[in-house]
């Protein structure tokens, strides 16, 4: 039992150490003939981590990714969650009562996607393929 506990603690320490190693990845897409860019942080376990204490990502506030750079504590999100999909994509998704988004980055951090859903009218939906580096 003592050996099992030591192994569990060792694995936990390694996972915490890995989670503290964060890579910054920039992803972009052309929207209305203009390059829009978002910067994300991804830990060694593949999880997208918040850019700062209350900010999902870094982006121009006037870009299509602008909501991700806002203070999410005041933005009205009903939920925010991150996950690593079985195919290795790191994903963050969230929604307000009117809008939802899903942003994903491939395991090798070279491609991604961004989906925005207008839950009201549905007229503002956007689906973008991202180039990441």
CB 48 within 8 A of CB 92: yes
d(CA 28, CA 103): 12
What are the sequence ranges of the domains in the chain? 22-132
Look at 2-11, 74-83, 110-119 and tell me which has the smallest mean pLDDT: 2-11
Chain segment 78-103, per-residue pLDDT in tens: 999 999 999 999 999 999 999 999 99
For 33-56, the pLDDT digits (tens) are 999 999 999 999 999 999 999 999
Per-residue burial over 99-130, b if 16 or more Cβ lie within 10 Å, else e, is: bbbebbbbeebebbbbebbeeeeeeeeeebeb
Rounded to whole angstroms, the Cα distance separating 132 from 36 reads 12
Comparing CA positions, the residue from 132, 92, 89 lying closest to residue 110 is 132
pLDDT at 7: 45
């Amino acid at each position: 039992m003592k050996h099992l506990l030591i192994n569990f603690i060792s694995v936990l320490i390694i996972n915490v150490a890995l989670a503290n190693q964060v890579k910054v990845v920039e992803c972009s897409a052309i929207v209305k003939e203009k390059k829009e860019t978002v910067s994300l942080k991804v830990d060694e376990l593949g999880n997208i981590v918040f850019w700062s204490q209350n900010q999902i990502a870094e982006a121009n506030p006037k870009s299509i990714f602008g909501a991700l750079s806002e203070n999410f504590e005041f933005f009205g999100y009903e939920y925010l969650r991150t996950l690593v999909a079985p195919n290795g994509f790191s994903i963050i998704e969230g929604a307000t009562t009117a809008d939802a988004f899903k942003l994903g980055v491939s395991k090798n951090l070279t491609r991604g996607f961004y989906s925005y859903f207008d839950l009201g009218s549905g007229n503002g939906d956007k689906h973008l393929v991202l180039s990441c580096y």
